[in-house]
Structures are given as C-alpha cells and as structure tokens.
C-alpha cells in the first residue's frame, strides 16, 4: 500500500535543518511576507517552459521515470515556496516558516532551479542562467537572499520526501498474454510493456493508486465490445475510407505526450489571463500534481486488467468468441500503438483531468488556440476546456490505438482524480 505524500505536513522554522512531521491536517498559513508582484507569473511560466524543453530533448529524461513526476516536483516546489514567503494559501506537502521579509519570486525561482538541477544535472548551465536572470529582477538584496534560502529549503525537503517513492525501481518484465483479450506487444517494434512499475510509485495526493480504478472491462462476447471494436476498426485503420480529413488531423495533432499539450494550454491561459504569481503557482501545482497521480492511477488500471490494444484485437478477432467481430489479419492503425495495455486511455485520463483543473480556476468558457509539437504549423481552436479534452481523448480512436471503451473509462478516471486533488 502507498502512503500519500500530501497527507504529510512538515513545519520547518527559520531555515533550520530540523523538521517536525505531522500526519493530520494542514497548518494555518504563516504571517504574510513580501507580496508577490502581479507580473510574478512569468517566473512560473519560464520554469515550465524550461522543463518542457528538457523532456523534449532526447536523452535527458530517464526512460523509466515518467515525466509527470518531474512536472509535479517542479510545481509543488514552486507552489510551496510561494506559500511560505507570502503566507497565502495551503501548501501541498509542508510549510516552511520564513522569518522576516522574503521575495516570493526569488523563493519560487530558487526552488524551481534546485529541483530541476537535481533531476537533470546535464542541464546545469542553462538552469543556472535562468535562475540568475530571474534573481537579478528582484531589487532588494535582503528580500532576495531570504527568498533564496526559503526556496532552497523547500526544494531540499521535497526532493528528500520523494527520494524513495518507487520511481527508481527497475520495471518488471510483463509476460505477453496468450488468451483472447490479454495484452501483448504490438507491431511494428513489438516493444516490451513500459512503466510496469509505475502503479507502485507513491502518489502525491491520492491515498492509494487504485482508489478510482475503473470497473472491469466489458465481456469480449458482448455488444458493447463488438460496437467499440468495429468503430476503431473502421475509423482508426491506416487506410480508412470512413475517417474524415479533420479526424486525421486530430489524430496527428494530439499524438504528442498529452501532459505536454495541457501544460502548453495552461501556459497560454495563465499568461493570457494576466494571473499573478500566487495564481500561477496554484494552477500549475494543481494541474501537475493531478497529472502525476492520474498517471500512477491509470498504470494501476492498465496493468491490473492488461487489455489488448485494437491492433491485436482486430487481427485476432476470430478468437474473441464474439460473432459480431471480424478478424482482419493485415489491419494496421493510423498511429503507432504505445507499448502498454489499452484500458483506460491515457489521453482521455489526462485531458479530462486537465480540463477540470483549469475550469476550476478560469470557468467553463475559455477561448483556446492550441498548437502541437507533433503537427507544427497547425492551430486548433476551442471555446472551452472540455471541448479540447473531448477531442484529445476521441482522437485516439481515429488514430487506431484505443476504443471508445478505453476513452470512457479514462475520462471517468481523470475526472475522479482531478476532483480528489481539487478537494484536498
């Protein structure tokens, strides 16, 4: 069983190394320090962009450590550093009692730097340069130095709390399934299943990975399964004649890591709304703590049920015992199938979670212009967060890598995890 990090509240006074660990409730905010400037959101946005650059750079992200852990660590550190130096808001992991005046921007920048420097030492030069440029913008030396000390302490404590969270484990090998419905590696690479250890990683906010595990997968012999398989067989085939041109664009547009998409969306919304440091820190922390726990939760479900992907299901449909499905041995999907089981769909989990977190802060109606690292030069426009989430999730059917069953279960799991985090 896992222990939720969010239920651990740490009070550290005066920058001292000693800490007192409690297990119930969150302490009242500390006395207000230097107020954050309205433009302080730029600090958060800059570090988020830096991490996006890192995870998109080949070789920097460890192959067996999920990127959402890094985003959660970065933004939890920024958030708790801002809370410590402003006395406003509730920390997610611990409260640092900062004496005197401390600049929140300096604290946030130092905490962000120290987390990323620990996670990505090869990026030390770029991270140091970004930190120096941000600290240079803080005018009062005493406030800047106090903020730096607070940020360092927050980062050190946070990294220490997560040091043994299970993310460094060697992923166990998943034996290929043999019975109908069981997951097995997919063409063309037939790569082994990825992140088989991730369900055992300690959540940040959830009390356990399986709290919102979806219900059992529908019976292979039933009508729901047959309908879902026929839909993806027709729409998601590489040579499909029923998929529209716009559905093809959608499938390719949302193909990049979905947490990257939603962090880009959040950058656009936070920047466009002229949110200050406090709001920016809160939004990105909620968003990425939700994503980190949602990934732990969906891997729990994926490896609990171990459901085969559409490419396997369609090619071997003659073996599923359902007279309403037809085997197509040479069927191939529009997109390459990710190396993990189908149920639930990751895009649907993350997108629904992201939509709910952003809606909580900015309301249901928000004009979005979304771009894609997977399809450069294309912009898709939406009138709400939910509209973007729905398209992102359904795009995986058009891509041929998920069924509607995966999408619906993923959407519910994303909603459940987001609502839990927002209540915490």
The answer to whether the beta carbons of residues 92 and 133 sit under 8 Å apart is no
pLDDT band per the 50, 70, 90 thresholds, residue 20: very low
What residues contact 193, with CB distance under 8 A and at least 6 apart? Answer: 174, 183, 185, 303, 339, 340, 341
The answer to whether the beta carbons of residues 200 and 2 sit under 8 Å apart is yes
What residues contact 113, with CB distance under 8 A and at least 6 apart? Answer: 47, 127, 128, 130, 131, 151, 155
Q: What is the pLDDT of residues 135-191, one digit of tens each?
A: 999 999 999 999 999 999 999 999 999 999 999 999 999 999 999 999 999 999 999
Q: Is the pLDDT of residue 99 over 90?
A: no
Cis bond upstream, residue 395 (ω within 30): no
Q: What is the pLDDT of residues 289-303, one digit of tens each?
A: 999 999 999 999 999
Q: Is the pLDDT of residue 88 over 90?
A: no
Q: What is the pLDDT of residues 385-416, one digit of tens each?
A: 999 999 999 999 999 999 999 999 999 999 99
Return the HEC string of 156-203: HHHHHHCCCCCCCCCCCCCCCCCCCCECCCCCCCCCCCCCCCHHHCCC
* Beta strands 9-13 and 20-22, pairing class: antiparallel
The answer to whether the beta carbons of residues 378 and 315 sit under 8 Å apart is no
Q: Using CB atoms within 10 A of its CB, is residue 156 exposed (0-12), middle (13-18) or buried (19+)?
A: middle
* Residue-level pLDDT at 39: 55
Q: Is the pLDDT of residue 5 over 80?
A: no
* Residue-level pLDDT at 1: 34
**Which residue do the tokens 């830096």 mark?**
50
């Amino acid at each position: 069983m896992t222990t939720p990090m969010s239920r651990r509240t740490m009070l550290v006074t005066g920058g001292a190394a000693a800490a007192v660990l409690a297990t119930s409730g969150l302490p009242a905010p500390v006395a207000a320090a230097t107020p954050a400037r309205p433009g302080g959101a730029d600090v958060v946005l800059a570090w988020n962009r830096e991490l996006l650059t890192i995870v998109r750079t080949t070789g920097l992200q460890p192959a067996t450590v999920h990127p959402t852990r890094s985003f959660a660590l970065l933004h939890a550190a920024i958030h708790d550093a801002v809370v410590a130096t402003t006395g406003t808001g509730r920390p997610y992991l611990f409260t640092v009692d900062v004496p005197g005046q401390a600049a929140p921007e300096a604290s946030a920048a130092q905490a962000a730097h120290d987390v990323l420097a620990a996670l990505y030492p090869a990026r030390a030069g770029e991270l140091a340069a970004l930190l120096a440029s941000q600290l240079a913008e803080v005018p009062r030396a005493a406030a800047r130095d106090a903020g730096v000390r607070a940020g360092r302490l927050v980062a050190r404590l946070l990294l220490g709390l997560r040091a043994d969270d299970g993310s460094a484990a060697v992923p166990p090998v998943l034996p290929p399934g043999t019975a109908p419905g069981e997951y097995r590696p997919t063409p063309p690479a037939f790569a082994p299943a990825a992140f088989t250890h991730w369900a055992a990683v300690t959540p940040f906010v959830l009390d356990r990975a399986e709290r919102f595990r979806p219900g059992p997968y529908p019976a292979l012999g039933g009508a729901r399964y047959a309908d879902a398989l026929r839909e993806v067989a027709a729409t998601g085939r590489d040579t499909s004649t029923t998929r529209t041109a716009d559905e093809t664009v959608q499938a390719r547009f949302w193909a990049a890591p979905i947490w990257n998409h939603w962090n880009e969306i959040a950058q656009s919304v936070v920047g466009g709304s002229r949110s200050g440091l406090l709001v920016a820190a809160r939004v990105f922390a909620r968003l990425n703590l939700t994503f980190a726990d949602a990934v732990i939760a969906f891997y729990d479900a994926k490896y609990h049920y171990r459901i085969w992907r559409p490419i396997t299901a369609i090619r071997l449909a003659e073996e599923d015992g359902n007279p309403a499905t037809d085997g197509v041995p040479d069927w191939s999907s529009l997109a390459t199938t990710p190396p993990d089981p189908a149920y639930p769909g990751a895009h649907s989990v993350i997108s629904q979670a992201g939509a709910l977190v952003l809606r909580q802060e900015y309301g249901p109606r928000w004009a979005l212009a979304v771009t894609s690292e997977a399809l450069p030069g294309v912009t898709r426009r939406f009138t709400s967060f939910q509209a973007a989430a729905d398209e992102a999730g359904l795009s995986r059917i058009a891509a041929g890598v998920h069924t509607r069953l995966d999408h619906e279960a993923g959407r519910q799991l994303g909603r459940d995890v987001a609502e839990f985090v927002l209540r915490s």
